[in-house]
Structure 1
């Protein structure tokens, strides 16, 4: 009986997730001029390519898509690298008060993002970083470090200390130990952290609408809200086509790297 209830609950969750996706796909096919003003449950026409072209070129979501791809890949990779080095310092290096440094770095995930927006906006306006790709890349990389550090540190904490001790006896430096031993052994954890941070940066809206305004700098989620405002009167199919474009990268990342992601998450969970 308990198993049947669990299966029913899971099936209900799957349906709740699939229904909005189905409605988005079906209504994105509808010609904008023929949209009736309410969601359609069946296909009423096929204008997907026209709607995608309007969203990509006419509405300018293509520039923001490329900007978000740059932010997500570069900032997630930089954050994972910095987080791995910080985790190595906290777990392996003989630094004083490692617990203090752990909580100091991890505290970046404990405070709401909204409390940083006003100081960030003032700082960016004073330093000419507002509405620049460099400005967004800096804040995205810094924002992504604490959670990546948490995941990587958990996995690194359960690695045998004998590995480091044997390498030190053989004359290896800490730099060599990090790059030649810990990084290869933690490939799955680093990959999982990268996927998490790639998704977080790609889905960001708050920082995007606060620290940028031009189309070539704005991340894609901010551009999607602009698309919603611009095309709310001409037809939701264009907006839904833009939503389809936006959902593709994260879906591909999870499908391509799902094995690596599951191994990394499992390793981090086991470490806890």
Structure 2
């Protein structure tokens, strides 16, 4: 019997085994997708129900009509003081993440473009802020803010978020800026450019993609933060949106879970809008980091 005749059944068996493996992977992917979509189904059917319908029909039952969604949105908006919470979170996120990314860009420029001793130690010092859990900072921050008048202030929250968000962008931008040819710096210095001019005119334009990518990540983290806002803000007018949702849930979740879900979905809208507006730059930044 020839080798070709012997190998044909083996090749056919391998193809059948490959098809079985592909089917198994497909059904596993379907199951994982359904599990991932389950919370979205729950949220969507809940916002179209009244409190009585939610209790009577069960949380997963389809709503009788879509009419209650408008009343749920208006009621959730009013009870959570959502405009104030969103405004505070937007301020904390844009200013805090923006300042953090700018400071990280300055630090990354110094770590990658300037020659001095101990650069690696300075980087370790900056990145050491991510080693410890954030909870250990709460008591020192609370006591320090109480003594300096920063407790329950928007300035204090911006300073906290800026400091916390510096290390990760520094790591990302340091890795990216190290790939930019240093010949550009030398040519600019020969033309009489200062370090600030090199940073502003050469490094920043070439780092726009990664900077926007890390800005979106840090903005999203600040927007979803609860622990610092809960500890460092007492006045309702200074609360972040997540803090407002926590207070709202504690007061009303037992009787009107449909309003809690509606308020939660409303609170996620600004982050989705910002992501879609900047998604092109975000994907460019991720592509640059992957290629590096």
TM-score (norm 1): 0.93
The aligned runs of 1:1-272 (5 Å cut-off) are 1=18, 7-36=26-55, 38-45=58-65, 46-271=67-292
Per the TM alignment, residue 245 of structure 1 is displaced from its structure 2 partner at its CA by: 0.8
Per the TM alignment, residue 140 of structure 1 is displaced from its structure 2 partner at its CA by: 0.7
Distance change (3 Å), C-alpha of 1:158 and 1:214: same
**CA offsets, 1:155-211, max 9 Å, x none?**
101111111111112221111100000111111011101111110100101111111
SS at match of 1:99: helix
Per the TM alignment, residue 16 of structure 1 is displaced from its structure 2 partner at its CA by: 2.4
| Alpha-carbon distance in structure 1 between the residues aligned to 2:141 and 2:250 | 26
Is contact 1:152–1:268 with CA below 8 Å preserved after alignment? no
SS at match of 2:219: helix
Unaligned runs of 5+ in 2: 1-17
Distance change (3 Å), C-alpha of 1:169 and 1:257: same
| Alpha-carbon distance in structure 2 between the residues aligned to 1:194 and 1:9 | 35
How large is the RMSD of aligned CA atoms in angstroms? 1.7
Identify the range of structure 1 (261-270 vs 102-111) with the bigger mean alpha-carbon deviation.
261-270
SS at match of 1:65: helix
TM-score (norm 2): 0.87
Distance change (3 Å), C-alpha of 1:173 and 1:265: same
**CA offsets, 1:120-153, max 9 Å, x none?**
1111122221111111111011111111111111
| Alpha-carbon distance in structure 1 between the residues aligned to 2:24 and 2:122 | 45
| Alpha-carbon distance in structure 1 between the residues aligned to 2:73 and 2:98 | 30
Aligned residues: 271
| Alpha-carbon distance in structure 1 between the residues aligned to 2:27 and 2:132 | 37
